Amino acid sequence: MASVEVDGYLIEKLISEHEIQVIVQELAERIYTDYQGRVPVLVGVLKGANPFMADLMRELGRGNPETGRPIMPVEIDFIQVHSYDGQVSSGEISQSFDLSTSIKGRDVILIEDILDTGRTLTSLMDRLAERKPNSISICVFLDKPDRRKVSVEAKYCGQQIPDKFVVGYGLDWKQKFRYLPFIGVVGQAVASQISTPPLLLS
């Protein structure tokens, strides 16, 4: 796929807006099949899950007349944790924002942008399980299985990708690029005044 210049950097497109839409629709079909008749709580992990969570919620709320999938009611809440400093996973997970509602007895679907080492989601699963929900499952947009350090099962996964540091669709590199509507890989800085292009992991 083509590269585009964004804010002085070259970003190589990996997953297009249209492909994202198709992936979200497929995930919504599966979630509807598994949860019909219940009202799950989608718990988005800030900040990265924001666009994915919004798209998934709207897709569930839209239904799909072509497949016969009706509108599915959900509730939403958010939690925020930090594990990354630039491209380096610190290994330590700290929570900075908590749910505003009780999940006791509820069916929780934890929504995350990407599953990398697995530390963040393992820690979150442990923390949320203490609140006695009826069930918890994980839904990630992307998965980098080659990077896994801690075993964690994502019931729903949009797409597996190779071990590359990606940005866009909520994912950042030093808080940049979350706003991009596609997933891309950061390459060289193209503007000569930017002296430190991002280091690529591979």
Residues that bind ligand IMP (CB under 6 A): 48, 83-84, 89, 112-120, 165-167, 171-172
- At closest approach, how far in Å is the CB of 77 from ligand IMP? 17
What is the spatial distance between Cα 176 and Cα 168, in angstroms, rounded to a whole number?
9
- At closest approach, how far in Å is the CB of 172 from Mg ion? 8
Contact 129, 123 (CB under 8 A): no
What is the spatial distance between Cα 3 and Cα 12, in angstroms, rounded to a whole number?
4
- At closest approach, how far in Å is the CB of 161 from ligand IMP? 8
Q: Residue 139: name its binding partner from ligand IMP, Mg ion, none (Cβ under 5 to 8 Å by kind).
A: none
Q: What are the C-alpha distances in Å from 64 to residues 58, 98, 103, 122?
A: 11, 32, 28, 33
Size of the site for Mg ion (CB under 5 A): 1
- At closest approach, how far in Å is the CB of 64 from ligand IMP? 28
Q: Residue 140: name its binding partner from ligand IMP, Mg ion, none (Cβ under 5 to 8 Å by kind).
A: none
- Residue number with CB closer to ligand IMP (64 or 117): 117
What is the spatial distance between Cα 184 and Cα 171, in angstroms, rounded to a whole number?
10
Active site residue: 7, 34, 98, 116, which one?
116
Q: Which of 174, 175, 182, 185 is nearest to 52 (CA)?
A: 182
- Residue number with CB closer to ligand IMP (83 or 159): 83
Contacts of 175 (CB under 8 A, 6+ apart): none
Interface map 43-62 toward Mg ion (x if CB under 5 A): -----x--------------
**Is residue 116 among the annotated active site residues?**
yes
- At closest approach, how far in Å is the CB of 16 from ligand IMP? 17
- Residue number with CB closer to ligand IMP (117 or 137): 117
Edge to edge, what strands does the sheet with 166-167 contain? 3-6, 9-15, 183-189, 166-167
Structure tokens at 173: 């590199």
Q: Residue 118: name its binding partner from Mg ion, ligand IMP, none (Cβ under 5 to 8 Å by kind).
A: ligand IMP
Residue type, 128: L
Structure tokens at 102: 């009780």
User: What residues are annotated to the active site?
Assistant: 116
Chain residues that interact with Mg ion, rule: CB under 5 A: 48
